[in-house]
Chain A
């Protein structure tokens, strides 16, 4: 087991370096001269020679004349020490800027995930147990509709219905402007603003998850041990929730962890639409303003989350189902 994990971690590190190299080279393809941009505001106060001298020293200082591989070495060295570089737009270290959005994203996603799981797991189980009934068929059609509609359409419709027409919820934002309350009042205000985004995120993840839970449950209900359990005369509830559900848990765990990975990437659209200050809109702002140090840092963060998530999925197989031997 330890051998397997260390092998996987080695692989992860390898992939991370390859990807960071690729991303860094891509980023360096963009034309632009940060040194010139830095000097632009004070250009008029300097003489030509002075400007030229300062420009050259700045270029040397920023390492702009180095070959890309040297630049990459410097950058990755900084990253490994927790220095993600500075934002061009805010003139601040990326690491300080990223904290607040990350907190918000995690906050929102944990709520959305709890809501979604709370609905989909019971729904999937009921559908699997009563499969091919009218209820199941209508849920099936509903889930196809659910996962076929992109989140932004669901968001547009719900903004139109609940925010603009009915006026129940605010259209965007995370808090009432100039909100001064603390503690519970602050929390209530935030939840009031987050209600609509949470609704959209939950709704857009219902379809796929319900189908997944249902499929896993049907698979395990078809097994021989279920027939055995029924033949023994166990109550149906025990058969379903103790015997079948436990065995259906394996793919569901994959789903939950997979979803956890997508937490950071998947809420891009919703954060953007409701102008929430999360990782998604932070990332998109950086891309739009060509603040590539931030974009690169966030991208690397997404990569790490995905790689770690994949490892955790594989390891969780072994924990949930001892029959699965991961160290093939």
Chain B
């Protein structure tokens, strides 16, 4: 039990000291998940059912793909606030290609072309953001914020706030169909998780991402082209947004600017619950994925309990605060037991700022 609590609350930086390995961490989060499922089953009496799991399996991928898009910038010490609208715009480009190719009569080659166009759009959006961040030294929060305002305006301007639909019938089959009982969006998500895990753990880019998050100047002095890396990181983030946009389009059979806007907070929440360091430099893919499942389970539970949508929004905010507060308190307690030699705990060096 102690490990379960420490997995959820321990500070990301103190992973080594707490003796938790990657696998142990994941197992502990799974423990939290099981406790939560049992709790919800006890509360509602009908939580553990086929319907719940189907709905989670279909909802998880959108949120999950956006979280992956958020994860890499956070590990590199930044943030990408434009994820949801990047996904919307990429979806919009996909929709246009489908419509240009004949709407409901569009063939598979048009579909592939649309996917490529959407991915390219995502890469362009992310890449331009990365270039601005890398070469002007402007803060990622600011740049992605401006990009978010721009993309939202662009999308609203282009669609006049309405829906774009009229796609071939196989599109919605892709979004709502299953292969061997596994929903296709979930398969796409699992594939993307695997790619992200490999990128972060096994490539030069991944290594540089962690180093950038720890100390960008030291990284530059050790011979890494930090500007190129930052540009690449945001480009990849944009591509992942595009994947999320494609999945959203196939699931809803339409594109609407502003869809998934409320996911922004939850992606940040999932990253921090999955023990990614808010200051950058630390974080793994697998714990974040399990944290995502936990959040999705909470979301479905709230839904089953008949919670008002706005109350749910407030609860997400409350949960985020609670997790961070408990994590701090737990960290201080753990630190206190380590330093019982009569010294007061050292003040946090990074401080509460930025």
Are A and B genuine complex partners? no
- Name B residues whose Cβ lies closer than 8 Å to a Cβ of A: none
Could you list which residues of chain A lie within 8 angstroms of chain B, going by C-beta atoms? Answer: none
